[in-house]
């Protein structure tokens, strides 16, 4: 564990939004953080009001809210005033097609302006927004819409044809599909969004919501079972706003770029809500990663604050340090990273080539917002996730026999736990009370991550306590992948694990036992990979498949993924007392 620090100058510290971490932590209350926002009469609130309408009312309507960069490089600037009108139009459109408060509006879209109009317009109308990653295949799209009982889906013509048309008959609640780039070609319930937006009024009275009303539904995965729909409420905006201010150092008028896709929680909490509540201009790039393009965006848009992820940083490191020398990135003030372990080399590399470190921070779908971070005013310990946000109590716990107990000593490995009670904490896993309750013990919320805390209070990530896989920052549930493989006629059993990868952190690998009559071979291997990609999409499907006669199982028949992994990586097999059948 490297203990060296990247020290900040007194001048740097004095310019940060949060100048003194300890003092802020001691004096903090969520009530005070709430005063940074407007709220609505009668103790009501609406995320979209805080993100958009509030700025327009305060005279900031002309400021650019969103600068969209299309794949071909053309730009479209959308001011806070226009964003207010477009989101009003969207809210009117969904009202007209019969969406009521609380209805679930899903989006399956690339990073295009309509995605942002849909997200905020949905919230204005008091409906629940649920984003889906556009690289999902039909299976993850279907399961997530089934669980959330989707009413409306906003998507594109191509995504509709490739991923939705064939599963529509399985989704009885889905009454309307809005296409951002065309009309429905006569398909029942399918409409062109552009035409409806064109006819809709650009004024709308934002729904006054109870702070505990559902606003967002974000799906995440566990070791077993179906995806879980983490429920977030309108009050969460207090945490989005405050954490954006202190953990990302966002200031009104900043140009800010979050590279995460809104199909995942980071792209919503910090790619839509936190930047807008903080009054920044946010950059949205439609294209996928490209080192040169990214450096050009940082330079041309004069990005001040940049929030990205370890996989991207490692790809930039691979592209070499010579490339970056061609770009004037002097507007950059703060860089942060999230989603997977950020190795200390990457932090040090950032410091060398950008003249400032990447500030690692930690959180997850369930927490809704950043929980642990390295701050602008604090020395960075490369490899550490930092310290808990003001308002957040974090601990390392163990629960060998019964309730979780806090480990008070330093450097002890245990589960990272948080004291519940911050505004963006999930309120439920939708319709899964038992799975939700299992996350709590001894008064702590258990995160599923293993970590340590050092003597100075910095937290260090150790690994996951469960079998979920983090590939290129995307959380993948092995069960979802195994289920898709099991649908193939040749597959008797499947076990899926993550194996280390230099760039993506982990990649998905599947082990498969075949049914009688099927022979392992290259053709079948490719056929299985193709089958999985078609069902699950490239973001979730295994990159590699290996055949086994049998898979190691417990006596109760559960596949021992940990053993598969230990064997694959040549690690100690650990406790195998429950092992029933076996094949090496
Ligand atoms: P998700 O719910 O998809 O955002 O994934 C959350 C999980 O990503 C966490 O529980 C961690 O396992 C991992 N994660 C997020 N941020 C970090 C970080 N800074 N360092 C290490 N792991 C992280």
Residue 405 lies in a domain: yes
What CATH number is associated with residue 556? 3.30.300.30
Q: Are residues 474 and 438 in the same domain?
A: no
Global pTM reads 0.95
> What is the b/e burial string over 410-446, where b = at least 16 CB atoms within 10 angstroms of the residue's CB?
eeeebbbbbeeebbbbbbbbbebeeebeebebeebbb
Centre a 10 Å sphere on the Cβ of residue 305 and count the other Cβ atoms it contains: 25
Q: For residues 540 and 131, what is the distance between their CA atoms, to the nearest angstrom?
A: 16
Residue 380, ligand 1, Cβ within 6 A: no
State how far the alpha carbon of 555 is from the alpha carbons of 575, 576, 580, in Å.
Answer: 14, 11, 5
State how far the alpha carbon of 118 is from the alpha carbons of 97, 113, 569, in Å.
Answer: 14, 9, 44
Average pLDDT on 337-365 reads 95
Which phi and psi angles does 236 have, rounded to 5°? -55, -25
Q: Are residues 368 and 483 in the same domain?
A: no
- Alpha carbon of 475 to ligand 1 centroid (Å): 8
* Mean of pLDDT over the chain: 95
Residue 462 lies in a domain: no
SS3 504: coil
- Alpha carbon of 462 to ligand 1 centroid (Å): 11
Residue 2 lies in a domain: no
Residue 142 lies in a domain: yes
Q: Are residues 545 and 426 in the same domain?
A: no
Q: For residues 366 and 584, what is the distance between their CA atoms, to the nearest angstrom?
A: 37
Identify the pLDDT of residue 495: 96
Q: For residues 422 and 417, what is the distance between their CA atoms, to the nearest angstrom?
A: 13
Q: Are residues 352 and 396 in the same domain?
A: yes
Average pLDDT on 339-362 reads 95
- What tokens appear for 382 in the block? 């490369």
Residue 430, ligand 1, Cβ within 6 A: no
Residue 496 lies in a domain: yes
Centre a 10 Å sphere on the Cβ of residue 205 and count the other Cβ atoms it contains: 8
Q: Are residues 447 and 500 in the same domain?
A: no
pLDDT in tens, 486-523: 999 999 999 999 999 999 999 999 999 999 999 999 99
Helix axes 522-536 and 478-486, enclosed angle (nearest 10): 120
Q: What percent of the chain has pLDDT over 90?
A: 91
Residue 467, ligand 1, Cβ within 6 A: no
Q: Residue 184: pLDDT band by 50, 70, 90 thresholds?
A: confident
- Alpha carbon of 362 to ligand 1 centroid (Å): 6
Q: Are residues 432 and 474 in the same domain?
A: no
Residue 308, ligand 1, Cβ within 6 A: no
- Alpha carbon of 339 to ligand 1 centroid (Å): 4
> Is pLDDT at 583 greater than 70 in this prediction?
no
- Alpha carbon of 404 to ligand 1 centroid (Å): 21
β-pairing verdict for 150-155 and 128-132: unpaired
| Residue of 363, 424, 448, 473 with the most ligand 1 atoms within 8 Å of its CB, for mutation | 363
> What is the b/e burial string over 331-366, where b = at least 16 CB atoms within 10 angstroms of the residue's CB?
bbbbbbbbbbbbbbebbbbbbebbebbbbbbbbbbb
Q: Are residues 446 and 532 in the same domain?
A: no
> By the 8 A CB rule, do 252 and 280 touch?
yes
Identify the pLDDT of residue 4: 72
SS3 487: coil
Domain boundary among 425, 452, 479: 452
pLDDT in tens, 138-168: 999 999 999 999 999 999 999 999 999 999 9
Identify the pLDDT of residue 3: 52
> Is pLDDT at 365 greater than 80 in this prediction?
yes
Q: For residues 265 and 111, what is the distance between their CA atoms, to the nearest angstrom?
A: 14
Residues with Cβ within 8 Å of 245's Cβ and at least 6 positions away in sequence, in order, are 17, 18, 36, 278
Q: Are residues 415 and 552 in the same domain?
A: no
Q: For residues 473 and 263, what is the distance between their CA atoms, to the nearest angstrom?
A: 12
Structural domain span for residue 538: 469-569
pLDDT in tens, 101-112: 999 999 999 999
Residue 361 lies in a domain: yes
Residue written as token pair 């006669």: 549
Domain boundary among 452, 477, 502: 452
Identify the pLDDT of residue 469: 97
- What tokens appear for 202 in the block? 């650009």
Residue 83, ligand 1, Cβ within 6 A: no
Which ligand 1 atom is nearest residue 342's CA? 20
Residue 164, ligand 1, Cβ within 6 A: no
Residue 220, ligand 1, Cβ within 6 A: yes
Q: Are residues 437 and 480 in the same domain?
A: no
What CATH number is associated with residue 431? 3.40.50.12780
Residue 462, ligand 1, Cβ within 6 A: no
Identify the pLDDT of residue 223: 87
DSSP E strand boundaries for 252-392: 255-258, 281-285, 305-308, 334-337, 358-362, 372-373, 387-388
- For the chain, the C-alpha Rg in angstroms (whole number) is 24
Q: For residues 447 and 462, what is the distance between their CA atoms, to the nearest angstrom?
A: 13
Identify the pLDDT of residue 584: 44
Residue 375 lies in a domain: yes
Identify the pLDDT of residue 575: 75
Q: For residues 174 and 184, what is the distance between their CA atoms, to the nearest angstrom?
A: 15
Q: What percent of the chain has pLDDT over 70?
A: 99
Q: Are residues 112 and 255 in the same domain?
A: yes
Residue 261, ligand 1, Cβ within 6 A: no
- Alpha carbon of 374 to ligand 1 centroid (Å): 15
Residue 339, ligand 1, Cβ within 6 A: yes
Residue 385, ligand 1, Cβ within 6 A: yes
Identify the pLDDT of residue 1: 47
State how far the alpha carbon of 391 is from the alpha carbons of 61, 150, 342, 487, in Å.
Answer: 32, 34, 24, 46
Identify the pLDDT of residue 582: 60
- Alpha carbon of 174 to ligand 1 centroid (Å): 32
- What tokens appear for 439 in the block? 């996350």
SS3 168: helix
- Alpha carbon of 474 to ligand 1 centroid (Å): 9
Identify the pLDDT of residue 581: 60
Q: Residue 481: pLDDT band by 50, 70, 90 thresholds?
A: very high
DSSP 20-67: -HHHHHHH--HHHHHTTS--BGGGBB-HHIIIIIHHHHTT-TTSEEEE
Residue with the bigger pLDDT between 32 and 580: it is: 32
Identify the pLDDT of residue 580: 72
Q: Are residues 266 and 336 in the same domain?
A: yes
Q: For residues 444 and 582, what is the distance between their CA atoms, to the nearest angstrom?
A: 37
Residue 464, ligand 1, Cβ within 6 A: yes
Residue 449, ligand 1, Cβ within 6 A: yes
Count of domains observed in the chain: 2
Residue 463 lies in a domain: no
Q: Are residues 430 and 488 in the same domain?
A: no
> By the 8 A CB rule, do 228 and 221 touch?
yes
- Alpha carbon of 357 to ligand 1 centroid (Å): 19
Domain boundary among 397, 420, 452: 452
| Residue of 133, 426, 475 with the most ligand 1 atoms within 8 Å of its CB, for mutation | 475
């Amino acid at each position: 564990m490297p203990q060296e620090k990247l020290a900040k100058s007194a001048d740097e510290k004095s310019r940060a939004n949060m100048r003194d971490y300890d003092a802020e932590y001691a004096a903090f209350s969520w009530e005070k953080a709430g005063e940074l926002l407007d709220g609505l009469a009668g103790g009501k609130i609406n995320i979209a009001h805080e993100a958009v309408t509030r700025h327009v009312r305060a005279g900031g309507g002309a400021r650019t809210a969103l600068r969209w960069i299309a794949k071909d490089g053309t730009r479209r600037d959308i001011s806070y005033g226009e964003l207010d009108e477009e989101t009003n139009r969207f809210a009117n459109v969904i009202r007209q097609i019969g969406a009521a408060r609380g209805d679930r509006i899903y989006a399956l879209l690339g990073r295009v302006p309509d995605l942002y109009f849909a997200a905020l317009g949905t919230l204005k109308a008091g409906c629940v927004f649920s984003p889906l990653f556009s690289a999902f295949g039909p299976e993850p799209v279907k399961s997530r819409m089934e669980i959330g009982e989707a009413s409306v889906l906003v998507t594109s013509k191509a995504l509709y044809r490739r991923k939705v048309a064939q599963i529509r008959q399985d989704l009885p609640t889905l009454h309307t599909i809005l296409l951002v780039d065309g009309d429905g070609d006569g398909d029942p319930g399918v409409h062109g969004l552009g035409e409806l937006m064109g006819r809709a009024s650009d004024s709308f009275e934002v729904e006054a919501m109870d702070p505990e009303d559902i606003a967002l539904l974000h799906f995440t995965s566990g070791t077993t079972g179906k995806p879980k729909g983490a429920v977030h409420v309108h009050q969460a905006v207090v945490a989005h706003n405050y954490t954006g201010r202190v953990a990302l150092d966002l200031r009104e008028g900043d140009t800010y770029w979050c590279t995460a896709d809104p199909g995942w929680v980071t792209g919503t909490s910090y790619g839509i809500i936190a930047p807008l509540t903080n009054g920044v201009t946010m950059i949205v790039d439609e294209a996928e990663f490209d080192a040169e393009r990214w450096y050009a965006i940082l330079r041309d848009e004069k990005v001040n604050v940049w929030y990205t992820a370890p996989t991207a940083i490692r790809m930039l490191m691979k592209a070499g340090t010579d490339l970056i020398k061609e770009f004037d990135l002097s507007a950059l003030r703060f860089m942060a990273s999230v989603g997977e372990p950020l190795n200390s080399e990457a932090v040090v590399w950032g410091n060398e080539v950008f003249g400032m470190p990447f500030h690692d921070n930690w959180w997850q779908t369930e927490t809704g917002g950043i929980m642990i971070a390295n701050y602008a005013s604090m020395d960075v310990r490369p490899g550490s996730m930092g310290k808990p946000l003001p308002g957040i109590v974090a601990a390392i716990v163990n629960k060998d026999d019964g309730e979780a107990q806090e480990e008070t000593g330093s450097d002890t490995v245990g589960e990272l736990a948080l004291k519940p009670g911050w505004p963006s904490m999930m309120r439920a896993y939708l319709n899964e009370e038992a799975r939700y309750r299992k996350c709590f013990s001894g008064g702590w919320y258990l995160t599923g991550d293993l970590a340590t805390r050092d003597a100075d209070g910095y937290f260090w990530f150790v690994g996951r306590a469960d079998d979920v896989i983090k590939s290129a920052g995307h959380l993948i549930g092995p069960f979802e992948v195994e289920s898709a493989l099991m649908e193939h006629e040749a597959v008797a059993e499947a076990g899926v694990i993550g194996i280390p990868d230099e760039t993506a952190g982990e990649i998905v690998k599947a082990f498969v036992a075949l049914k009688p009559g099927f022979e392992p071979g290259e053709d079948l291997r490719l056929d299985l990979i193709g089958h999985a990609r078609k069902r699950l999409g490239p973001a979730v499907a295994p990159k590699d498949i290996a055949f086994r006669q049998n898979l190691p199982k417990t006596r109760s028949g559960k596949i021992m993924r940990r053993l598969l992994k230990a064997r694959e990586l040549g690690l100690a097999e650990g406790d195998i007392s429950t092992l029933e059948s076996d094949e090496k």
